Structure 1
Amino acid sequence: MTPVLELNNLVKTFGASRALDGLSLSLPDNSYISLLGPSGSGKTTLLRVIAGFERCEAGSIRFGGRSMQDVAPHRRGIGFVFQNFALFPHLSVRDNIAFGLTNRELAPVTNAGEIADRVQAMIALVGLTGLEDRAVTQISGGQKQRVALARTLVTEPKMVLLDEPLGALDANLRARMRNELREIRERCGVAFLHVTGSETEALAMGDVVLVLDRGRIAQTGNSDSIYNRPASSDVARFLNCYNLFSGRIDGESFVAPAGRLPLGGLRQTAATPAYAIRHDRIAIRPTGTGLGGDEAAIEAQFLAEEYTGSAVYSFFTTEDGTLLEVETHLSKDTRPVLEPQGRYALVWNKEHALVYA
């Protein structure tokens, strides 16, 4: 797939801190790209550098095959949707969307009929028909999000940057807007780069998922490869669905403070040894239960559980203080009744583990 954006060895510092540390990547055109990372990893800084709001000390940016060196933000052909929407409260929905067309420096649209047609088409595209004359202070958070997106798309950018666009919405609305954003992007046929700190959001939305760690791209792939084969223990930690053990490899075992674990599953090269097992791969059994030849287990004390309707999240601690989480899906597993402070065996197939060595 033809790259729409190419970044090479970007360095951006704030004082002694490197927000971007030699970051390089190539983004495909006509795709939904999710950028996932923890707070402070450089996500928003990267968006602002691409948009031209920040300058790097080193590195290059090419957009559509053209160098962006010294190109002003409004001349790049890149749209930006801010986390707080940045709408004009004194303007109607229609006038907010039209603002970019009539006030841009390059080729502002002055024909009233063309403005009306383009704005109305965009209003229909994002599902705001009937709200054209409503003040933006009189519409919901999800509708404000659509106005902000329409205001950007009406100028026909070649790429749209979205800085945590669903962060200000409630949980139910976030889920609905995920689908709507994907559908809108597909109808427009341009690349969306969507920054989020939510692993669920990133995996659900991205055709391509990028994981950012301390100013560098730690992993690039589709949702399945990121979720099932995180490239490092740090990536696994960001996904918030793996139990992680530190330790060392001794023969065919991984020796951790919590216990000795048989090796198996996927092994990957990493700077720091670690052993990972996903929350939903673990079964809870009484202590003393015999193990199969392909199983690994650790004994731990039950602390508490959280019921979410479709699943129960159970929390345990080992003797060395390691906190472990088990996810039991109620549609396929029988929910065990756990005694407060009781000791249990946490068991998994060793082939389901990820070993970093």
Structure 2
Amino acid sequence: MIPYGRQSISDDDIEAVVRVLRSDWLTTGPNVKEFEDKVARYCGARHAVAVNSATSALHIACLAAGLAPGDTLWTSPNTFIASANAALYCGAEVDFVDIDPRTYNISVACLESKLAAAEKAGKLPKAVVPVDFAGQSCEMEQIRALADRYGFTVIEDAAHAIGGRYGERKTGDCAYADMTVFSFHPVKVITTGEGGMVLTNNDELYGRLARLRSHGITRDPAEMSGGSDGPWYYQQLDLGYNYRMTDLQAALGSSQMDRIDQFVARRREIAARYTREFASLPVITPYQRPETRSAWHLYVLCLDPARTAKSRSEVFARLVALGIGVNVHYIPVHTQPYFRRRFGFQPNICPNALAYYDACLSLPIFPGLTDDMQTHVIASVKEALR
């Protein structure tokens, strides 16, 4: 079975982890700081805070933004549930903004319309989480302009998008986002096994994020009330969490960062070949905005109902039978039983997301996908649609 995603681990990666196993540090230590600095430099951000998962990163980003009971976070329905759950962990509520039917990212037009209505009703969101679906950046400049007008915090969920670009800017430089979140799950562009990171250019947010990932404590005398009792002393300033990344994970991440541009280049080659090969099929290939360069975490085909009677279920089953580990990204979050039960969401509040979900299939894309493997995937897609 060819999986839809898979990590790429080199001998250098293995040696980096072995060096940590032979060192004095296993949990958070010098390798975590090295990894944070490496990612921040690569992206062009001032600060980075590594944590044990992207879900943890989203949670502390929401906390750092001040999200609390009585507040609301808006996000895309076309995402993994963590983008919405992070708000619920803070006691806040969640609402959804429909997607652009071409990019499958949050629709700026829908966001602007919903904000205008929310302003009149006195129910503006405290934070908006645009999701860079499949690795393509959202229209961040326009979202930033809306944030400045309506006063919400922008937390860019770039779990798919490290290595991508928006214009001349690298995803994660936080030029338009208050905070940007990355994921390092094994199927992502680079991996730490499990892990995540929050980037920001704001010194105050950075201080909060750093405390929140480690029980809300500080060892910095300048942040303490009443001064320090000595070098052993710490104070708890916030209710934080044990979301720390280990040095083992960080060493793997640092080694992976040495090959990030190679990883992304290979993903782009695979995506370009898929798009060429599928041009005449009854499918819709991924639309790319001219100002973006996707990191291509996912390659999503959508069946075109105007040109094929095949259902997504039929094509999915046939591809699995042919040894292709296809997947579906994502089931719209607002249709999940928990969200329907708690908030009363009806499926039709985001019709573009529903239409997308009914037709989408994620095909294998990862650096280790060989040309022969991709040839088999392409032939299998053609067979399944025949």
Using structure 1 for the length normalisation, give the TM-score: 0.28
> Counting helix residues as a fraction of each chain, which structure ranks higher?
2
Of the two structures, which has the highest relative contact order with CA contacts closer than 8 Å and spacing of 6 or more?
Answer: 2
Larger radius of gyration: 1
Using structure 2 for the length normalisation, give the TM-score: 0.27
> Counting strand residues as a fraction of each chain, which structure ranks higher?
1
